[in-house]
Structure 1
Amino acid sequence: MHLRPVSAERSSSHTVRLAGGLLKFGTTLLVALCIAASPLSALAQALKTASTPLPEFSRLDLYGGYAYFHPFNSEIGPFVYQPINPGAVASATAYFNRYLGIQAEGSFFPDGPNDCYFTAQAGPILRYQKGRLIPFAHVLGGGARAGGPAFQPCTWGWGVTAGAGLDLVLPYFNNHVALRLIQADFNYSHVDYGPLDAAQVTGGVGEITAYRLSAGVVVRLGQQKPPPPVQLGCTAQPTNVYPGDPITVTGTATSLEPKKKLSYTWTASGGAITGNNEIANINTAGLAPGDYTVTGHISEGNRPGESATCTTGFRIHNPAPPTITCSANPSTVMPGDPSTITADANSLEGLTLSYSYSSTAGQVSGTTPTATLVTSGAPSGTVTVTCNVVDDLGKHASADTTVTIVTPPPPPVPKVRPLCSVSFERDMKRPVRVDNEGKACLDDIALTLNRDTTSKLVIVGRHSDDETADAAAQRDLNVEQYLVDEKGIDPARISMRTSGQPGRILDSTLVPDGAAFIPGDTSTFDSDSVKRVGQPYAKPKTTTNH
């Protein structure tokens, strides 16, 4: 036990001592809360971004923490009560609602210089939860057990406690754990130790004023969720109508209290609405085309969340005729070819449509969005096709498209075309003989004839001024022989003629089927009357093996 004498000048009245203690505690509490509030507010703001949702209001809080007990202006005779460190505070708090509860608390300081200091108290507590920060204040009363500052034993008396604190709910463990950052309390205890002896070391009355600081961990159990607010949804059926069509509006409410009486009201921006329960009816007779709004309201009480409103709407339509476009594919055909007619029709009212078709020529048939125009027997020119559509109300629409029937062009007239010419200028000793270069030309001619088996060949031989006319005919006969004997060309496909134009040359002309060769200055000749001399064409060289 630590004894500290007190001077006689400090023996003031109990009232002055208690008032001074309260003032000192209030100042200490204010300073502690101000120091904690600024950084802790920033911390709580940062914790709002955590993935765990913000905490609900708990029903039961269990607290345990470290405590420091500091008496002031408290003594018996010359001996002063001393601070105690360490100690502990534990409490259990049950909340009636989101703000008010009842708390039972015990403090434990078993090893202080005053031998002991214990409290067992209970009282109301008030909290205000803002996000993860929960400031609170409480007032407690009950028993206090304290040892004296001299030789007074641990004795039970009575005491009161008042103070405030601040909790920070952690975003872990589903918001069931909080840190009590500070709890600052003022304690007053009255303990009677019996008669005070002459030496003032035993007995006396201990009137202890002290402040107590603690911090620790709070376990939060249970949740106090407010009842979910009433919700109301409403629908209108049908939503698209014509003037005079009936509409039924249905309200669907949720989160209702089963025992409470419900009150429905309905209003509409147009039409006559009747009904005072979840179903209402609207008479749309006489309404102008446009959009209208229906509002429903339900109430089961006057408190917040006990009423709800819903809105829905409907549209009054002015029946419009259908619309239609008409197209043809293909739009240009040959006589007898068909064309597909397509009608693209639409009813803004969603009515059933019927189709029909007509044309100025040919025959068109169909009762669906597509029809077929048959042009057999129709004259060349433009045919107008009309697409018709009518809805359930008898309103109709039509559109036209055209199909052009064209006369097929006449087949192209085949034309003759010149082929290569064979020169006889290179071998003056054998002026009518077909040399190897000439044979190359004839090979190309034979290839052309084999590709176009219906065509014919006209060859026209010429002779120079110093030659007889038979030279031109011999050139024709030698070329014919090469084509027939070497290339297998039917001689009936080859016509031979001579020309009066001078030159040691033979011209060739391809005459397709249906084409006509214009003779010009050429003439035919009697091949039997021609006396042929020399070799007709160059023979391929043979290789002799030695």
Structure 2
Amino acid sequence: MQSHLLKPVCRAIALAALAAVPVALTAQNTPSAPKPAASYGDSPSRADIFLGYSYLAPHDTVNTLQPDGVTTLPFQYKANTWGLLGSGAYYFNKYVGLQAEMGAHDMWVNSKSSNSGFLTPGGGLIFRFPTNEVTPFIHGLVNGVRGGGPDHQPYTWGPGLTAGGGMDIETPAFNHHLAIRLFQADYQYMHLNWGPGVYGGRANINAARLSGGLVFHVGSIEPPAQLTVACAVNPTTVFPGDPVTATATPGSADPKLNVITTISGDGVGANSGNTAPVDTKALQPGQHTVTCNAKEGKPGKEGLKPWQTATASTASFTVKQFEPPTVSCSANPSTIKPGDSSTITATGMSPQNRPLTYTYSASGGTVNGTGNSATFSSTGAPTGPVSITCTVTDDKGQTASGNTSVTIEAPVVQKPKTSSLCSVTFSRDKKRPGRVDNEAKACLDEVALTLQRQSDAKAVVVGESNSAEKTAQEKAEAKAAKMKKHAKPVENLAAQRAVNTKDYLVTEKGIDPSRISVATSSADDQKVENYLVPSGADFNTDVTGTSPVDESTVKAQKRVALPERHHAAAKKAKK
């Protein structure tokens, strides 16, 4: 029964292994989908199951006692051309694992034949060296051997050892879970002892085993964590010339390996560790990008594995256009007289504290100064408001202007005013209270001289009367009002005194009468006040409380001397 089962199974496995070879080779020549980041060489299987054909060539001579009990003949093992080999390996890491193996060679052959088969279960260590295309391996096993002898020795158990290696070809079939074991070549040592007696003996077999077949990968050993890198810039918004620092921060790095970071991009300077300065002076306004890279590995071998090179990371920063400056302008004082000066103050500000240059201009006059303070001179400027412009310019050529004004007052023309000259008293001549006496000449001569010097000036002569004279005048006017037609003209001493004074100036001093006006006032006195009225002056504004005299009703009285008075004693002497 054992023979009938093992023989067809062995043949089927061998045929399947042979048929898989061209399929695998075709798969290798057919373009495949891009490999994942971690290929088989980087992420090999956790367990491998092998099943295939095996050829065993045992070498030993067994001296066998024949049935006659006397004759001992030597018998040699022959090659086992039909065999099956299966194994399973579990890997602790990428390279080392435990392997269990079972080999069956010619087990279906009758033990009475001249060449018995072997069953070789075993286990031990396996070492592999996986790559993306091939995986070489070596192993060493301790076996139990169930084998027969070359001359009718029955099956018996004995110890054995296996040492060898082989090579698997990786294929993309089943998502890289199928490989072809191109060969497995092993040396096997097997010891069998049938004891003394007929068909007894002892065998120390040195065997060569060659196998091939299919390998099924189960599970995977994940590679080390993928190295990452984060990129950052600080600050993210600047003005040209402001400093920016770019930082590359590796992640998932193996602490046992060396990590190298690089930073590149617009304005990036020499890297120092994980940081690099960014010079923004020459950068145009807008968005700029820096790129961070990282790789790890043994010194000088960084980045050899896919997971040892991080995917590039970027960070952006924005360079803003410089904002223009602003300026305010003021003048102190804001109102000046012709020829005077005013201080102009310009208060400029740059949002980015750029250096500022000040200039000034004016619609009239001159402005001198280059700092934030200047002096406006009104010399040569017309009267009225003068516009002054203050301008600031930053080192980027951006400007701003502010305006103020200074008002130049028109020259104040002092309006001529009426001035008092001198007064003439009329209280000395009781009989002729309106007569201009000789004592008045000094005053009136001075008045005439003043008028002669100021040819465009005029004079106003204002007559006054005292309260007694005013009372007498009122009574006379009342009496005249009653008498009507027969009434005598009433003398107005204030008016008469003014008219007589004017007459003196005209007749005695030759003053043009049109330059002299006469008036009266309500003052309680017996005087004539003389006023000089320069050209442009307004007498009625300057001197109030006067009334003009109608010279057509008041005539000047001739200035004659009083008759000579004789003393009574002198008269008697003449008699």
Using the size of structure 2 for normalisation, the TM-score is: 0.40
Using the size of structure 1 for normalisation, the TM-score is: 0.42
Larger Rg: 2
